[in-house]
Amino acid sequence: MIVGARLGSPLVVGLGADENYLASDPSALMGYTQKVVYLQDRQLCVLTADEFHVYDGDEVRVSTSVQSIDWDAGDSDKGGFEHHMLKEIFEQPETIAAAMRGRLDEADATAHFGGLNLDARQLRRAERIILTACGTSYHAGIVGEYLFEEYARMPVEVEYASEFRYRNPPIDQNTIVIAITQSGETADTLAALRESKRKGHRSLAICNVVGSTIAREADGGVYLHAGPEVGVASTKAFTSQVTVLAMLALFFGRMRHLSSLQGARMIEELQAIPDAVARALRCNDEVKRIAQKYHTATNMLFMGRQYMYPVALEGALKLKEISYIHAEGYPAAEMKHGPIALVDENTPSIFLTPRGSVFDKVMSNLEEVKARRGPVIAIASEGDHQAADYVSSRADEVIFLPDVPEYLQPIVTAIPLQLFAYHVALLRGCDVDKPRNLAKSVTVE
């Protein structure tokens, strides 16, 4: 017999044939069962191999709803790859396409979401959006801030859920709070969502796990449909979150000021992204070679501007998570306000320099690092030979990626950064899928 109780941290019962399971996250049950029951706070469960019962806090037996987790048998294995993380990096063309499937409405030049559960009047009345998240999801949220401000013309704030839950900011009734989470069980994000709901604010969730606590408690939301993410360091969830945020920006933009021509162009550009990501993955061998050159470094800097700034944050986080190298991400111009003191011949800097509105500015920042003998790795766009020659003549290493619209560059430029972290960690003998001190879902404060 196993007895479990939930209070704060998540708890899920897995139902098998002549066997039952108890876990904090359904991903732990992958390969054993697809049927789960999520416990609510202050509920108890009693499991044997043959049956299970759930009780409330007064020990009264309650009925439960069995959820079916949508994963394939192959999701629990490595699919011929050396690690789950590498498999999930290479799954991204498919997971990005899955995030868009059935959601792009070419006839009306907009996006369509079936689970928002807010009527058109509530959505049009929204005057402000707060995105709250932790870790990688927070970085996706910063990309979302830029997307909403540019295409929906809405003021957006991005908050660390761990801070937002304890603050008491003035929020008017026309604000929508959107929680972003892969697992749907992140303790801080759940607490931030609950605090928002307690004060009467409309809430949505961008989540990957069907039936998870945050997915159930939000007023509505959007599932990523990325499939289980086994590697602790999030990869495919990040690009799927950015894809969903781009579609939400299109959706809100078309309700406000975007023309049908602009909407149709965005749809066409979004539909081309899975192929661009597939082509970006061809840089794997080149990234591996560069990783062999720099894997002994003890510090690295990641620099980008505008849409590339949150990608710099994410690239640094990936490297820290799995290789244990100290790394920091910055807006490239902020380097002169302190971090440039760290630059020397032993501190590589990765500059995100795809073609865009601030290309010349970023190249100026890159040259400042080179002037101080800092090694430079540049991520650049294909197709512009003049810009390519300019980057190549100044950087020590250049990785060229497919040229995509500026607002979609975070999806493509994340690929070589994920691969770089993976190969560096492998060369340093680290456990890529299960890095030290980390858990897939942060279910306690």
pLDDT tens, residue by residue, 398-430: 999 999 999 999 999 999 999 999 999 999 999
What is the model's pLDDT at position 385?
A: 73
Nearest to 276 by CA among 407, 147, 403: 403
Percentage, residues of the chain above pLDDT 90: 62
Nearest to 151 by CA among 28, 270, 16: 270
Structure tokens at 292: 């062999």
The region that residue 22 occupies, defined by phi over 0 for left and psi between -120 and 50 for alpha, beta otherwise, is: beta
pLDDT tens-place string over residues 195-235? 888 888 899 999 998 888 888 889 999 999 998 888 999 99
What is the model's pLDDT at position 200?
A: 85
Average pLDDT over residues 298-316: 95
Nearest to 37 by CA among 183, 211, 221, 184: 211
What is the model's pLDDT at position 364?
A: 87
3-state secondary structure of 307: coil
pLDDT tens-place string over residues 98-128? 999 999 999 999 999 988 888 878 888 888 9
Under the banding of pLDDT at 50, 70 and 90, the label for residue 189 is very high
Amino acid symbol at 84: H
- Note if the pTM is more than 0.85: yes
pLDDT tens-place string over residues 44-95? 999 999 999 999 888 889 988 888 877 665 566 787 899 999 999 999 999 9
CA–CA distance, 227 with 237 (Å, rounded to integer): 9
Q: Residue 215: which H helix or E strand, with range?
A: helix 213-217
Under the banding of pLDDT at 50, 70 and 90, the label for residue 306 is very high
CA–CA distance, 328 with 340 (Å, rounded to integer): 12
What is the model's pLDDT at position 85?
A: 95
Nearest to 58 by CA among 71, 74, 73, 42: 42
Give 395-410 as a DSSP string. Answer: -SEEEEE----GGGHH
CA–CA distance, 59 with 358 (Å, rounded to integer): 62
pLDDT > 90? residue 335: no
